[in-house]
Amino acid sequence: MSAPTPMAVVDMESQAPDAHPPPHPRALSKANLARTLAGGYVPLVLATLMVFLPLAWMVLSSLKTPSEIVTTELKILPEQFYADNYVQATTTVPFGQFFLNSAIVTFVGSGVKVLLAILTAYALVFVRFPFKKAIFVLVLVALMVPPQVSILPNFILVAGMGGKNTLWGIILPGLGTAFGTFLLRQHFLTLPGSLLEAAELDGAGHWRRLWQIVAPVSLPSIATVALVTIVNEWNDYIWPLIITDRPDTMTLPVGLTLLQNSEGNTGSGWGILMAGAVLVIIPVLVVFAMLQRYIVAGLTQGSVAN
């Protein structure tokens, strides 16, 4: 998942889905009902099933006994809820440690990132300083440089600093944020100038103006940036994979790879691996279900051309 390239920022949610009524008013006739079902519900249900079936299969399989998995007859439902896969998944490898590491990396990493994004965006919009435009262009270009091409030089630098197998080594290279800076700058630009004039007359400095006026009125945008950052940090794989090789500092996705190495070659190991996948996927799915409005808007920001 990568941050989309900026083109023009439009809040997706402000586009009312009901803006354009269908050209023909619908009467409740049998023919119309059939058409609604065929044209409306069937594709909708198919699209939803396409997403849910694999995930449901993951959950069901995680609750099956090895003999229910190693069988050529497909059993859809487990005969009983077999929790041993979860026990195995969390004891074969130090899953609790992975979970804690992921939580720390995600919490600290996204906390610092959001803070830096707020500060940088505020400076770029409200503070006067030389070369502002050039600096903004540098931030914008950084948005287009994928972290994947930087892994080798960053590995050599961070490992040289002693960051191998440390949590700070996982967190540090990702802290600079072009995505959050860009999104928040776009939002700050829309704030009316009158909002800050009164505070300026009162003699409030930049620090107070930021935290007492700009940040509070920008909470939805900040929340969007925060959520996208949290999800990205939680799922981040390539960097933690390279910078850690000891279980005590691995994050969940890397730990899952370790579990795959020990269970992947046995048919009966699938149940254990599905339990591991559930533990990685479900937290994000729950957060997404609750806050999907902000996450979808944040991740597709910049996509709508008007």
Site for other proteins in 262-291 (CB under 8 A): 267, 270, 273-274, 276-277, 280-281, 284-285, 288-289
CA dihedral for 198, 199, 202, 205, sign (positive or negative): negative
Phi, psi for 77 (deg, rounded to 5): -100, 140
Residue 177 sits in the site that holds other proteins (CB under 8 A):
yes
Separation of alpha carbons 121 and 179, rounded Å: 11
Separation of alpha carbons 227 and 81, rounded Å: 33
Separation of alpha carbons 21 and 226, rounded Å: 35
The distance of closest approach from Cβ of residue 193 to other proteins in the complex, given in angstroms and rounded to an integer, is: 19
Distances (CA, A) of 293 to 13, 118, 217, 220, 221: 8, 21, 18, 11, 12
Site for other proteins in 39-98 (CB under 8 A): 39-41, 43-44, 46-48, 50-52, 54-55, 57-58, 61, 69-74
CB closer to other proteins out of 84 and 245: 245
CB closer to other proteins out of 220 and 303: 303
Separation of alpha carbons 81 and 293, rounded Å: 34
Residue 38 sits in the site that holds other proteins (CB under 8 A):
no
Could you tell me which residues come within 8 angstroms of residue 98 by beta carbon, excluding any fewer than 6 positions away? 247, 250, 251, 252, 254, 255, 256
Distance in angstroms between the alpha carbons of the first and the last residue of the chain: 25
- Site stretch for other proteins (CB under 8 A), options 1-9, 83-91, 93-101, 214-222: 1-9
Among 33, 83, 127, 219, binds other proteins (CB under 8 A): 127
Separation of alpha carbons 93 and 254, rounded Å: 11
The distance of closest approach from Cβ of residue 149 to other proteins in the complex, given in angstroms and rounded to an integer, is: 5
Binding to other proteins by CB under 8 A, coded x per residue (else -) over 134-173, reads: -x--xx--x-xxxxxxxxxxxxxx--------------xx
Site for other proteins in 196-255 (CB under 8 A): 206, 231, 234-235, 237-238, 241-242, 252-253
The distance of closest approach from Cβ of residue 115 to other proteins in the complex, given in angstroms and rounded to an integer, is: 9
CA angle centred on 157, ends 155 and 159, rounded to 5°: 60
Among 63, 114, 183, 256, binds other proteins (CB under 8 A): 256
Residue 95 exposure: Cα atoms within 13 Å on the Cβ side? 19
Residue 17 sits in the site that holds other proteins (CB under 8 A):
yes
The distance of closest approach from Cβ of residue 216 to other proteins in the complex, given in angstroms and rounded to an integer, is: 18
CB closer to other proteins out of 49 and 198: 49
The distance of closest approach from Cβ of residue 262 to other proteins in the complex, given in angstroms and rounded to an integer, is: 13
CB closer to other proteins out of 28 and 46: 46
Among 20, 30, 128, 133, binds other proteins (CB under 8 A): 20
Note whether 158 and 172 are within 8 A (CB).
yes
